[in-house]
Amino acid sequence: MSSKKVTNICCLGAGYVGGPTMAVIAQKCPHIKVNVIDLNKERIALWNESDLGKLPIYEPGLDDVVSEARGRNLFFSTDIERHILEADMIFISVNTPTKTYGVGRGMASDLKYVELCARQIASIATSDKIIVEKSTLPVRTAEAIKTILDATGKEGVRFQVLSNPEFLAEGTAIEDLHFPDRVLIGGEEDQDGQNAIQALVEIYANWVSRERIVTTRVWSSELSKLTANAFLAQRVSSINAISALCEKTGADVKEVAYAIGQDSRIGSKFLKASVGFGGSCFQKDILNLVYLCRHFNLPEVADYWQQVVKINDYQKERFAKNIISTLFNTISDKKIAFLGWAFKKDTNDTRESAAIYVADELLQDGGIIHVYDPKVSADQIHSDLEYLQRNRIEKSNDKLAFTIEDIKKRVFVHDSPYNALTNAHAIAILTEWDEFKTYDWINIYNKMIKPAFVFDGRDMVSKKEMEKIGFKVYSIGK
Ligand code: NAD
Ligand code: UGA
């Protein structure tokens, strides 16, 4: 394969990664035509909405990037055949959730969407293509993709498979894409592989300095992505573990995090104790890593990483159980107001959000939940809870399962925080939306049932100030 200059890119998957990543490539490379494809027609229609407030994902700064490039060299479409045919380079950016069935259920990544992409590309392509794994995948998936492409592709058509994992975080995706710490590209060591790597390097070099573009072997690149997420999540679980000890000993986790973070070998990032990490990736990627370790007969290594997820589950459960025990051991028919539902601020993504698990525990105890989140819809909140219930029925453990009708009778979603908080017995802060810091807490206190409890899962309010107003406050790690 020669090192042809790329002028046409296609991306399969217009989600939280495919959408923003391709929008930024199109913005920074006006000479390249970028087509983003999805099977989901509604999602594509929203990406094509003239009202930029209706884009399918909320991400600060995304609307500006999309408005600059869309219609110029950025296009969203469902026409998979045409765009695969035209593309020099095809990114696979589809979802890779944890498997919910069969071998590896609950642990391994479900690669069915990735495999389908490989089969679609092979059956359509009539010219050589560079395939780029953008999705997060288990180490050695590139090999499997290449096998499918070579076995089912048309005669004479050659494929190179690169690994180019994405490190953006939601809420800061555009900033992360504009100024990445590094771009990682893994490829084959032979000349064709190196040419393919170079073609992708040239795209990123339009806005990322070359020292920040790291090239490796393909398997190192795949494994680096899982490892990066495992290390980040491990830091959160480590500080959350210490938060429990702080609560028993009178130490303050914020002070401990600051003190250790000043050591340049430790560093200050990802040391914020919380109600538990959420998001679509940390848990999924660690479980995948654990699965791989078990597959390669490394039980000690598997157990080590599994503990990161266990501590996260412990932290969510501890938070919920503390609400119940503090409210005199029963929350039956008590109104608990949730501030925040998204898994972090500045995103409308709720996947694996701690709020879902805390709500579920409280529902088991008969609580009535009133939620306010500035970016998450009522439908999303109800369906998150229903999804958890469905999983529970599949696992058939002994907890109660609610129907969607039951959930709607017990979980109310508000457009205004004050409606959610009025007459509440307790407030639980689950997401760190900046606006929560600006609320009129005296007014809120006056509207609540006394004693008025606040359970701060995100270190959003000053315990001292709130106690002065009259609140009874629980803050993680204090
Ligand atoms: P997502 O669910 O938001 O988007 C995936 C999209 O792919 C969906 O819209 C789905 O309809 C589409 N799709 C599935 N099969 C398809 C096919 N054959 N052809 C065309 N479209 C298809 O997922 P996401 O959050 O964007 O994550 C995608 C991948 O990126 C995952 O592997 C994830 O681990 C990884 N990742 C995610 C993030 C993040 O912040 N969300 C960050 C880094 C890496
Ligand atoms: C994470 C990684 O940060 C990205 O590099 C990676 O690309 C992405 O996963 C992925 O592969 O999907 P993301 O999940 O979007 O990004 O957001 P983070 O900022 O990492 O936060 C994850 C969770 O950890 C959130 O619930 C957040 O509130 C929590 N967190 C984070 C803490 O509780 N404390 C911290 O100090 C940091």
Q: Residue 243 domain-assigned?
A: no
Q: Same domain, yes or no, for 292 and 201?
A: no
- Nearest 10 degrees: CA dihedral of 464, 469, 470, 472? -40
Q: Same domain, yes or no, for 202 and 322?
A: no
Residue 99 Cα to ligand 1 middle (Å): 15
Cα atoms found within 13 Å of the Cα of residue 60, Cβ hemisphere only? 8
Q: What is the per-residue pLDDT for 401?
A: 74
Q: How far apart are the first and last CA of the chain?
A: 60
Q: Residue 281 domain-assigned?
A: yes
Q: What is the per-residue pLDDT for 404?
A: 87
Sheet of 335-339, strands arranged across: 411-414, 368-372, 335-339, 426-429, 453-456, 472-475
Pocket test for ligand 2, best of 21, 168, 436 (most atoms within 8 A of CB): 168
Q: What is the per-residue pLDDT for 379?
A: 97
- CB of residue 136 inside a 6 A radius of ligand 1: yes
Q: What is the per-residue pLDDT for 400?
A: 63
Q: What is the per-residue pLDDT for 1?
A: 61
- CB of residue 35 inside a 6 A radius of ligand 1: no
Q: DSSP 3-state assignment of 428?
A: strand
Amino acid at 456: D
CA distance 345 to 275: 14
- CB of residue 347 inside a 6 A radius of ligand 1: no
Which of these, 19, 28, 84, 79, lies nearest to 47 by C-alpha position? 19
Asked about 281 being catalytic, the answer comes back as yes
- CB of residue 344 inside a 6 A radius of ligand 2: yes
Residue bearing tokens 């690669």: 111
Q: DSSP 3-state assignment of 455?
A: strand
List the pLDDT tens digit at each of the 478 positions of the chain: 656 789 999 999 999 999 999 999 999 999 999 999 999 999 999 999 999 999 999 999 999 999 999 999 999 999 999 999 999 999 999 999 999 889 999 999 999 999 999 999 999 999 999 999 999 998 889 999 999 999 999 999 999 999 999 999 999 999 999 999 999 999 999 999 999 999 999 999 999 999 999 999 999 999 999 999 999 999 999 999 999 999 999 999 999 999 999 999 999 999 999 999 999 999 999 999 999 999 999 999 999 999 999 999 999 999 999 999 999 999 999 999 999 999 999 999 999 999 999 999 999 999 999 999 999 999 999 999 999 888 776 666 656 678 888 999 999 999 999 999 999 999 999 999 999 999 999 999 999 999 999 999 999 999 999 999 999 999 999 9
Q: What is the per-residue pLDDT for 439?
A: 96
Tokens of 153: 């592709």
Amino acid at 308: V
DSSP H helices, 205-252, are 218-249
Q: Residue 386 domain-assigned?
A: yes
**Beta-strand pair 183-187/213-217:** parallel
CA distance 389 to 401: 5
Vertex 245: Cα angle to 244 and 251 (nearest 5)? 110
Q: Same domain, yes or no, for 288 and 174?
A: no
- CB of residue 356 inside a 6 A radius of ligand 2: no
Run of H or E residues at 160: strand 159-163
Domain that holds residue 159: 8-208
Q: Same domain, yes or no, for 300 and 389?
A: yes
Q: Same domain, yes or no, for 41 and 132?
A: yes
Q: What is the per-residue pLDDT for 2?
A: 57
Cis peptide before 451 (omega within 30 of 0): yes
CA distance 25 to 21: 6
CA distance 118 to 129: 12
Q: Same domain, yes or no, for 19 and 98?
A: yes
Q: Same domain, yes or no, for 370 and 292?
A: yes
Domain boundary among 183, 208, 233: 208
CA distance 373 to 339: 6
Q: What is the per-residue pLDDT for 254?
A: 97
Domain boundary among 192, 208, 224: 208
Q: Residue 451 domain-assigned?
A: yes
Pocket test for ligand 1, best of 35, 43, 93, 114 (most atoms within 8 A of CB): 93
Q: Residue 267 domain-assigned?
A: no
Q: Residue 241 domain-assigned?
A: no
Identify whether the C-beta of residue 140 lies closer than 8 Å to the C-beta of residue 168: no
Domain boundary among 156, 181, 208: 208
Q: How many domains does the chain have?
A: 2
Q: Same domain, yes or no, for 173 and 295?
A: no
Helices 299-326 and 354-364 meet at what angle, rounded to 10?
50
CA distance 463 to 466: 5
Q: What are the angstrom distances between the C-alpha of 151 and each of 142, 147, 424?
A: 14, 6, 62
CB within 8 Å of 428: residues ≥ 6 apart: 319, 323, 336, 337, 338, 339, 358, 455, 457
CATH of the domain at 62: 3.40.50.720
Q: Residue 225 domain-assigned?
A: no
CA distance 282 to 271: 15
Q: Which residues of 233-251 are buried (b: 16+ CB within 10 A; e: fewer)?
A: bbbbbbbbbbbbebbeeee
Q: Biggest alpha carbon distance in the chain? A: 76
Q: Same domain, yes or no, for 17 and 114?
A: yes
Ligand whose nearest atom lies closest to the CA of 165:
1
Q: Residue 247 domain-assigned?
A: no
Q: What is the per-residue pLDDT for 398?
A: 59
Residue 397 Cα to ligand 1 middle (Å): 30
DSSP state of 436: G
Q: What is the per-residue pLDDT for 392?
A: 72
CA distance 291 to 283: 12
Q: Which residues of 113-128 are buried (b: 16+ CB within 10 A; e: fewer)?
A: bbeebbbbbbebbeeb
